[in-house]
Amino acid sequence: MSKEKAAHQVFARKYRPQGFEELIGQPAVSQTLSNALTAKRTHHAYLFTGPRGCGKTTTARILAKALNCAKGPTPTPCDECVSCREIALSSSLDVLEMDAASHTGVDDVREVIIETVALAPTRDRYKVFIIDEAHMLSNSAFNALLKTIEEPPPHVVFILATTEAHKVPATIASRCQRFKFRPIAADLLAEYLAAVAKKEKIAVEPEALDLLARAAEGSLRDAVSLLDQTRSVGDGTVTVESVREMFGFVPQDLLIGVAGALLARDPRALAGWLKKIYEEGIEPAQLIKDLRAAIEGAYLVKLGAGEPVDALWTKALSGASAEGLGFLLRRLNRALEELRYGDSPRLALELGLFSTLEAAHDLGAWVARLEALEKRLVAGGGGNALSPQAARSTILKDSCGEAEIAATASVRPISWPALVEAVSKEKITLGAALEKSRGELKPGGGYRIQFSKPFDLDMAKRSAAVIETALARLAGRPVALELLLGSPDAATASDIVDRGMPVSAAGADAPPGTRWKDIGEGASGGGAGGGACGGLKNAEGVFGGKARIIKKNTP
């Protein structure tokens, strides 16, 4: 064992709880066991299940003390009598600990347990058998144990502990009283670490403790060892930066950069940040996890459910709506999943992040942009200007009474920068030509690109297939391409679509509480609208999407 590891054990052992009241984050367990001890209604076999490092073995020893304390059985063992002291040092002859990880066989069970079960306790009230990592026992070992657990002598108590409850045969589990240990909540872990740091006189930044708590993933043992590890590097002060450095957490500025590019839907900026991230040698999975953790914090705050996050993050995400952040979180989760099962972490990362840029997510922003569009149409309407509401009806309402139209998520909006980016990846000269030109969805469908130089137009014509492929990928379906010479004119309605106006979310990514009911696909011809709904086709042209008739649900 390395010197470092030995040091951690000392640290964890030093702070091992000696009584139920010192146990962190397991109120149900300590309460139930304390009550049973008070009422003198203890069981002869217990099964402690739960993740690593959350107090199973510790509780088993406390229970053994509680049963065998000279002043017991009591929920508050004295810690002074010989029994208590010996149990704390694991040297009691009446409390036998067996590590099933290294004693898996039937012979081990016979030797350690079955042959001693019948013997009376040497000194104490009970003979307590603590079988740690119980899931490691072989089948024959479990079978040998079965009869004894079923009908043990009255002075025997079994405590089985395991991280993998499902591997304990039902025949055994059903004969035990079962206690589920929970992973310890991050805020409790951080609080505990702060207390340990104070006792150990370790200088710490509170945010650094939050990071450590997060890295410990519910294990108190890990949290304490991590604190000890970070203390031993650097000048002994535990800072956010030292923790980040040590655990490969992604630096804050990179995370905020990526989040900012995602929210601004800026593929260029995103690509720039990713480049930096690769240069720093950061793992794609780590980036997504850290990003997710930060955005999750901000998301909960937006929902009014969380503690305020870092000021830097509050600022970075101030423009985002709760549903926008929720959408991002779902996308990050998906990317992480794909990363786990794919063979190229980088590809999974890039696909995950870039696809986020293309997709629709922010209904609030969509409505705002729709209103801007209406205003512009009204302003351009000349003498017989319509009210915004009337304009909305013209655009959105078909002639079928209550029915309204919304483009569906089945066709994604086409963002011009994303198109330029995608083409540049394939053919850099063509990408450069596109940068000097202008693309837009045509009112009647299809996509038009206008070039100011004949040379650029010629090149584009020769490589039209590259543009068409990129276009189809972004739109999620083939799009007719028109290439022509001409100077870009003033902003038009489609300009808004150009800038990546998200199409109303329907289906998986729709925000909760959407009040619209889909009553048919107008564009499919046979739907509720049909020829009567001329407005549908119109809207499709404007939004570059596929129109559906939906009905507003009455609340």
Ligand X SMILES: Nc1ncnc2c1ncn2[C@@H]1O[C@H](COP(=O)(O)OP(=O)(O)OP(=O)(O)O)[C@@H](O)[C@H]1O
Residue 393 touching ligand X (CB under 6 A): no
Q: Which stretch binds ligand X (CB under 6 A): 16-24, 166-174, 305-313, 370-378?
A: 16-24
Candidates 54-62, 98-106, 277-285, 363-371; binding stretch for Mg ion (CB under 5 A): 54-62
Alpha-carbon radius of gyration of the chain: 33
Give the one residue of 26, 34, 49, 57 binding Mg ion; rule: CB under 5 A: 57
Report, in Å, the least distance between residue 284 CB and Mg ion: 33
Which one of Mg ion, Zn ion, ligand X, none is in contact with 497 (Cβ closer than 5 to 8 A by kind)? none
If binding means CB under 5 A, how many residues of this protein chain bind Zn ion?
5
CA distances from 157 to 70, 106, 153, 356, 431 (A): 17, 20, 9, 56, 75
Which residue in this structure is represented by tokens 């009337």?
Answer: 390
Quick check: 25 binds ligand X (CB under 6 A)? Answer: yes
Closer by beta carbon to ligand X, 192 or else 451? 192
Nearer to ligand X, 17 or 121 (CB): 17
Q: Show contacts with Zn ion in window 13-32 (CB under 5 A).
A: none
Give the count of alpha carbons within 13 A of 550, CB side only.
19
Please identify which residue in the block is written with the tokens 């914090």: 297
Decide whether 69 or 220 has the Cβ nearer to ligand X.
220
Residue 52 site contact among Zn ion, ligand X, Mg ion, none (CB < 5 to 8 Å, cut-off depends on kind): ligand X
- Is-contact 374 392, C-beta < 8 A? yes
Residue type, 534: G
Measured from the CB of residue 8, what is the shortest distance to ligand X in angstroms? 10
Q: Which residues are within 8 A (CB) of 308 and not within 5 positions of it... i.e. 6 or more apart? A: 301, 314
Among 37, 45, 47, 54, binds ligand X (CB under 6 A): 54
Contact 338, 288 (CB under 8 A): no
User: By rule CB under 5 A, what string of x and - marks binding of each residue 59-78 to Zn ion?
Assistant: ----------x-------xx
CB 168 within 8 A of CB 160: yes
Q: Kind and range of the H or E element at 379? A: helix 363-379
From the list ligand X, Mg ion, Zn ion, none, partner contacted by residue 84 (C-beta under 5 to 8 A by kind): Zn ion
Question: Strand pairing of 45-49 and 177-180?
Answer: parallel
Q: What angle do CA 530, 535, 540 make, to 5 degrees?
A: 95
| Binding-site size, ligand X (CB under 6 A) | 21
Binding flag, residue 55, ligand X (CB under 6 A) = yes
Contacts of 312-315 with C-beta under 8 Å, sequence gap 24+, read 312/252, 312/256, 313/256, 313/259
Out of Mg ion, ligand X, Zn ion, none, what residue 69 binds, judged by CB under 5 to 8 A for its kind, is Zn ion
Q: Which of 46, 53, 108, 497 binds ligand X (CB under 6 A)?
A: 53
Query: To which H or E segment does residue 322 belong?
Result: helix 322-341
Angle subtended at Cα 62 by Cα 57 and Cα 7, rounded to the nearest 5 degrees: 55
Task: Please give the residue ranges that form the binding site for Mg ion (CB under 5 A).
Answer: 56-57
Residues lying near Zn ion in the complex (CB under 5 A): 69, 77-78, 81, 84
Instruction: By CB under 6 A, name the binding residues for ligand X.
Output: 12-13, 15-17, 23-26, 52-58, 161, 163, 184, 220-221
